[in-house]
Amino acid sequence: MHSTCFEIKGQRLCLLPEKAIFWEEQNMLMLSDLHFGKSTHFRKAGIPVPVKVFQKNLDVLSHLLDKWNPAGICFLGDLFHSDINIEFDWFHDWTKQYPALKIELVRGNHDIFPASVYKQAGMKVYPLAVHKGPFVFAHDPQYNVRPDDYVISGHIHPGVQLTGSGRQSLCLPCFYFGENQALLPAFGEFTGLALIRPKKSEKVFVIGEGKVHEIGKLKD
């Protein structure tokens, strides 16, 4: 798989086809919307979702840690989907394999556990947002921020629709970078897409076939 790196606000970000970002200056991975526990939550409701969805996401996360060897990882919300279930225990066991890894979470609307539960798993939790260098990490897009801040968030699950010459179309997840806001794709497999319509001045990097492609300037 091939990443695409570029500079923004004087920082070098590598956009990964696994739907995460590696921030070189901070030696940090950032990703959003894993929704761990969602498959178990649905199975309890009688919807037959295979548990391998969770395991696949965890395997990809392990691969990223082994490949990039970050000092820390920051989840931009919706790490877990609902109430505590067996998938939290599995995640907690997974974190024990990386005792030196700094794990941070900006709470999303689905992150409803008590603070003590996150602490038990060795995570530092921020209720709404956290400043890191020139960036503000949040789950939801933020609009009441300082002019010099650049917000990186999740929640939206951004995607774009690509149309071919034969009128065939394909919807793919993407990274979106606007004037002062960025959106990460949902890391979790068991999530949907919200199609966005970027402006000409905005950058979009689409994920497909194990690569991250900049699709350049799109029509309004």
Residue with tokens 């999530």: 191
Q: Measured at the alpha carbon of residue 10, what is the angle toward residues 220 and 64, in degrees to the nearest 5?
A: 85
Residue that the structure tokens 């990223």 belong to: 64
Tens digits of residue pLDDT in 107-118: 988 788 888 888
- Predicted pLDDT at 181: 94
Q: How does residue 22 score in pLDDT terms, banded at 50, 70 and 90?
A: very high
Stretch 8-34: mean pLDDT: 96
What does each C-alpha distance from 168 to 26, 165, 205, 213 come to in angstroms?
41, 7, 20, 19
Dihedral sign, CA of 214, 24, 78, 137? negative
Domains of the chain in start order, with CATH, are 4-214 (3.60.21)
Phi (first) and psi of residue 27, to 5 degrees? 50, 50
> Rg of the chain over CA atoms, in angstroms?
17
| pLDDT in the model for residue 194 | 84
